[in-house]
């Protein structure tokens, strides 16, 4: 299956890669946890312990690490775009549901696998109301 063009959302998953400034990782984690819960945040970051999200959200705790941070920033970016376009409930369901643009897995799983371009393309398809058929 061909992936949709993600150019409208494709400025790289990690804002620091282009010199752009964005929210700190602790703010990203707090925001995602507030919307999606600590378990999904941990899964997207590649961790099994949902308590890790709470640790990352606190200022005195270690950072999640570069790879996990990149995935969390991707999730945060996609969340912001989808929730603005479709509303929080639809965005939450999108993150959880099987997605045809992602070979039938959920965006949460695809983010955990580091499939940034695929996730961005799937989100763009959702916003543009494109279907696989």
Q: What is the mean pLDDT of the chain?
A: 85
Rg of the chain taking only CA atoms, in angstroms? 14
How far apart are the C-alpha atoms of 10 and 5, rounded to whole Å?
9
37 or 58, greater pLDDT: 37
How far apart are the C-alpha atoms of 116 and 93, rounded to whole Å?
19
20 or 75, greater pLDDT: 75
Residue 63 pLDDT level (bands cut at 50, 70, 90): confident
16 or 112, greater pLDDT: 112
Position 108 pLDDT exceeds 70: yes
pLDDT value at residue 21:
64
Opening angle at CA 108, ends 69 and 117, nearest 5:
70
Position 27 pLDDT exceeds 80: yes
65 or 108, greater pLDDT: 108
pLDDT value at residue 29:
95
Say what percent of the chain tops pLDDT 70: 82
Position 17 pLDDT exceeds 50: no
């Amino acid at each position: 299956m061909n992936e949709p063009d993600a150019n409208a959302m494709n400025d790289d998953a990690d804002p620091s890669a282009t010199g752009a400034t964005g929210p700190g990782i602790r703010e990203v984690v707090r925001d995602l946890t507030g919307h999606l819960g600590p378990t999904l945040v941990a899964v997207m970051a590649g961790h099994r312990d949902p308590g890790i999200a709470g640790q990352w959200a606190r200022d005195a705790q270690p950072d999640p690490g570069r790879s996990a941070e990149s995935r969390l920033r991707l999730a945060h970016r996609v969340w912001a775009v989808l929730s603005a376009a479709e509303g929080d409930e639809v965005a939450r369901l999108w993150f959880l549901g099987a997605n045809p643009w992602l070979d039938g897995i959920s965006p949460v799983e695809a983010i955990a696998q580091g499939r940034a371009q695929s996730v961005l393309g799937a989100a763009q398809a959702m916003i543009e109301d494109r279907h696989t058929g």
